[in-house]
Structure 1
Amino acid sequence: MQILEISDDSGFMGIANFSRYRSFLSRNWDFEMIKKRIVEEINSHHLLFWSTGLENTWKVKIAFENSDSTAFRENRGVIEVTDGELFLTNYEALTMAAQYQQVKLPESHHKDLAIKLENGKYMVKFRQLFNPDEYDFATEDINFEIVLMRIEKNPEIYVNNVNEIYWSAY
């Protein structure tokens, strides 16, 4: 188990395999372009990305087995680890790398958001533990859980392709 904290200034976060994630788009990207890229990368098993419903600094529990915590909502996806690690990430990191080709992810200030894992494919359950409409900003609780379970079979058994960013109204 690992507890990480990540800032979220736009209401999105996720985990990524940055050795495979295709980050650069264009100096003049727009939201539709980056949303399309994010969905492509989710379906390629390089990224899992979702709306948080709020902007805040989040406490995220990384685990390898299910917990008894009650979730407001949860979903799952598949991600592939190729360099022994994934990274917790936010929208701001993805947009900087989308606009500037010289920005390599993870940026130095996000290297502490690494999740060390054996290479392979993982079924990932991501769980939001609070209702954004009733959130108490004074809480010290864990906000999200990410449960990683290594899989040996084809990932299509576990999830279908997506057409939108998870939980996003955009």
Structure 2
Amino acid sequence: MAQFQHRIDEMTDDSGFLGLVDPHAYTSFVGADWTLEGLFERVESQMRQRTMLLWGTGGEEQWRIDLSDSPVDPGLPIIRQIAGPITVTRGELVVVNLDTVTMAAQFADSTVGDDRDIYGSGLELPNGDYICTISQLTDPEEDRTHEGPDFHLQLQAGRTSLWLEVPWSEL
């Protein structure tokens, strides 16, 4: 795989959750009357199928996100870090916020990829299994200590343990 570096300059997060999704494999529609509990059951089921990773951000912010096959810049602080598995089935992953996930859960004609052009959040990758290491580099409850990204997502070919629940979540 050729080296890649992608930046999302401003991802709105009004719910305290971000995610990485294969928009072609993730089953998004839950129903018009979905509940948060039902939605998180769907998300956790999809995480076990490696179609999505969803994590808590610790706050509601405008996030800067770097995606790369390289590790975090060693000059940046890592507040917390976790790795999870995701599979690319049709050459693309999309970074999403929970608002996008809930819209796709409620409306059959919406998908988790609907906002990719708004945020510049689509990423082309070869099909296959990946390990995504998510590093949170800023604490939303503290003053910024650097001008770098808030999150760094490192994607490398490989497999790792499944996520059984949404990490860094208080729900």
Q: Return the TM-score normalized by structure 1.
A: 0.89
SS for the counterpart of 1:159 is coil
* Counterpart AA for 1:102: D
Answer whether contact 2:47 2:162 (CA < 8 A) is retained: no
Deviation per residue, 1:16-63 (Å, 9 max, x gap): 001000000011111100011111111110001101011111100111
Specify which of 126, 129, 135 is matched with residue 121 of structure 1. 129
Partner of 1:169: 170
User: What's the C-alpha RMSD, in Å, of the aligned pairs?
Assistant: 1.6
Matched residues, number: 162
* Counterpart AA for 2:137: L
**Any unmatched runs of 5+ in structure 1?**
none
Deviation per residue, 1:96-131 (Å, 9 max, x gap): 010111113311x42331111111000110010122
Within 1, Cα distance between the matches of 2:80 and 2:56?
11
Within 2, Cα distance between the matches of 1:142 and 1:129?
7
Partner of 1:142: 149
Partner of 1:2: 6
Deviation per residue, 1:58-91 (Å, 9 max, x gap): 1001110212132100101010001111001010
Cα distance change of structure 1 residues 65 and 139 upon mapping to structure 2, 3 Å threshold: closer
* Counterpart AA for 2:130: Y
Q: Which runs of 4+ in 1 moved over 4 A?
A: none
Q: Return the TM-score normalized by structure 2.
A: 0.89
Partner of 1:110: 116
